Amino acid sequence: MATQINCDTGFVGLRHIKKTFNPGSVNEVVLFTDFNLEIPKNQFVAVVGSNGSGKTTMLNLLCGSVPADSGEITIGGRDIMRLKEHQRSKFIGRVFQDPSKGTCPELTILENMALADNKGLSYGLSRGVNKKRVDYYRSRLELLRLGLEDKIHLPVASLSGGQRQALALLICTMTPLDLLILDEHTAALDPRSSETVMELTDRLVKEKNLTTLMVTHNLKYAIGYGDRLIMLHRGGIVLDVSGENKSALHTKDLTDKFNEISIEDGN
């Protein structure tokens, strides 16, 4: 199975990545031996793959929550291998599968937005919520069409998972980003909320021209959204389609591919 790699324009680049979990122990998992992925600027990439294929680990390597054994990770030409997770967060935005991770539940919607609005600046002793920005926050919340603009003084803990996830997405894209990372961010939501959040994702990505990496188990979303689709399997890219080839793709093509892989595995 030949793996195609788009090497010419790598705004985001993972090169020759090696990653082994618990090396030398009985629990050793050799995940990536020579992983390569290049993402051009402003591309929206959907990632699919079976459980344990390495999707989350790939995102963790980019965000810095898991260190790579060796290789090179660059964003916008800058080597980020040695940056800590919170340092990378300054230009990488991430929305998690768990809706409670992307906001602070105890703080109000307003306080959450004010904190996020200040990202990249200093968090000193000035007033947390700048009154002059409240109208702007309201106008951003209106985009969600969830009525949250009338609830800005409620703690986020009192919102539903779908509402929280929509808010997390909005918050995460409030300041300029080099890369937006979405890890099954609709998986915990009911079909309707997940539809809403997915549409919002598309709208925000287009509005801000974000370079985006989205992991999903929903093949319909993987096909319907984004400019490029890659499939991971056992730490390697087994399918990489973009442009017209991607538009022509059907859910059935992907399920066939999944089946083909598991037959190769002898299941």
Ligand X SMILES: Nc1ncnc2c1ncn2[C@@H]1O[C@H](COP(=O)(O)OP(=O)(O)OP(=O)(O)O)[C@@H](O)[C@H]1O
Give the footprint of Mg ion on this chain (CB under 5 A).
Answer: 56
Q: x/- site string to another protein, residues 11 to 30, per CB under 8 A?
A: --------------------
| Contact by Cβ (8 Å): 156, 109 | yes
Closest approach of ligand X to the CB of residue 196, in Å: 23
Stretch that binds ligand X, among 53-61, 151-159, 205-213, 223-231 (CB under 6 A): 53-61
DSSP secondary structure code for residue 155 in this structure: B
Q: What is the DSSP code string of 189-222?
A: S-HHHHHHHHHHHHHHHHHHT--EEEE-S-HHHH
Longest dimension (CA), the chain: 62
Instruction: Decide if residue 116 touches another protein (CB under 8 A).
Output: yes
Closest approach of ligand X to the CB of residue 187, in Å: 9
Q: Is 129 left (phi over 0), alpha (psi -120 to 50) or beta?
A: beta
Closest approach of another protein to the CB of residue 135, in Å: 20
DSSP secondary structure code for residue 7 in this structure: -
Among residues 190, 221, 174, the alpha carbon closest in space to that of 44 is found at 221
Stretch that binds another protein, among 53-61, 107-115, 184-192, 228-236 (CB under 8 A): 107-115
- Among positions 20-49, residues that touch ligand X (CB under 6 A) are 21-22, 29, 31, 49
- Residue placing its CB nearer to ligand X in the complex, 26 or 125: 26
Query: Residue numbers of the site for ligand X (CB under 6 A)?
Result: 21-22, 29, 31, 49, 51-57
